[in-house]
Amino acid sequence: MITSRQSRSFRLQTLLLTLCLTGFARAQAIDDAQAPGQTQSTPTPASGPPTTSPPDAPVPAAGTNITPGAPPAQGQQTTPPAISQQDRAAQQVKQQEHQRILGVVPNFNTSYVQDAAPLSRKQKFSLAFKSATDVGNILVAAADAAYNEWTDQFPEYGEGMKGYGKYLGASYADAFDGTMLGNALFPALLKQDPRFFRKGTGSFHSRLFYAIGTTFWCKNDSGSRGPNYSNLLGNLAAGGISNLYYPASDRGVSLTFERGFVVTAEGAIGGVFEEFWPDIARKVLKNRMTNLQPNVPPPASTAPSPTPNPPTQ
């Protein structure tokens, strides 16, 4: 049997997520019903002189030497230096480290770039450690510990500050172990990407099933997709380590697998929340609290490059 503490926590998270998604779905339906129909018209080209094709690039005269590495001639365009894959990943991780839910809870492990560069082993450990030791996660563990003490989940821990300290240590150890094992150690060993890649487009149901599926199916460093062994093994390993500090009444092999199952289910709920949180924030917060909204980069522009001006006659 799953412990009463785990059962209550799981039901509470499921209820909160259901309320958020229900509110978002209703707001989306209202917006769709109120949005006026728009017809796309083809712009009429302005009248003017006919556009002529740009002149051909000048060809070096015979006998002209082009020295490799020499500075380009005036007006000649140069190709920007290529950025390495590791540097590109570092830039993307730096962007992720500014993402927070309600301006407090870190959301560093979510990527809004589907083709993001794979992380090196060092980057995986660095990102996981930064998330695990962030003050936002410490506050979440403190709130969880206060709730567990208030409901007297483990009478063996006692009451007062001494009992609360034990609750806090257990709650934070759970979060720290799960993050470092599931988001750093196993992804580094198995060459899997620990991040959640937000879909952001498509129907509600397709995004919902995608978010749940990422708990069991993830992106590998090679770019392919496969079973999310890192997440599953990390949850089981963290559940096993918890036997070292949980009360004797809440230890054992069966409880370890039960905790791993509950944490995996909670991860699926978290994936759904990460997928729809930007939409919920946009509907609820709007522009009144822009600093609390997630930092979602705008979609890449697909507009064609402007036509060069015709040469002056």
Determine the Cα–Cα distance for residues 98 and 115; give it in Å rounded to an integer: 19
What are the tokens at 112? 């809004």
Which element (helix H / strand E) includes 226?
A: strand 225-227
Single-letter code of the amino acid located at 66:
I
DSSP 217: E
DSSP letters, 90-154, are HHHHHHHTT-EETTTEE-TTEES-TTPPPPPHHHHHHHHHHHHT-HHHHHHHHHHHHHHHHTTS-
CB atoms closer than 10 angstroms to residue 250: 17
Crossing angle of helices 4-34 and 204-213, in 10° steps, is 150
- The distance from CA 66 to its chain's CA centroid, rounded to whole angstroms, is 48
Q: For position 104, what pLDDT does the model report?
A: 85
pLDDT for the residue numbered 26: 57
Alpha-carbon span 116 to 106, nearest angstrom: 19
Coil, strand or helix: which one is 249?
Answer: helix
**Predicted confidence pLDDT, tens digits, the chain (313 residues):** 344 444 444 454 455 455 555 555 555 555 555 554 444 444 444 444 544 445 554 545 554 454 555 555 565 566 667 788 889 999 999 989 988 888 888 899 999 998 999 999 999 999 999 999 999 999 999 999 999 899 888 888 888 899 999 999 999 999 999 999 999 999 999 999 999 999 999 999 999 999 999 999 999 999 999 999 999 999 999 989 988 888 887 888 888 888 888 889 988 999 999 999 888 888 887 766 666 666 666 544 444 444 445 444 4
pTM summary value: 0.68
Taking CA atoms, 290 is separated from 102, 122, 137, 287, 295, in Å, by 10, 33, 22, 5, 9
SS3 56: coil
Q: How far apart are CA 208 and CA 58, in angstroms?
A: 56
What phi and psi, each to the nearest 5 degrees, are found at residue 197?
A: -100, 110
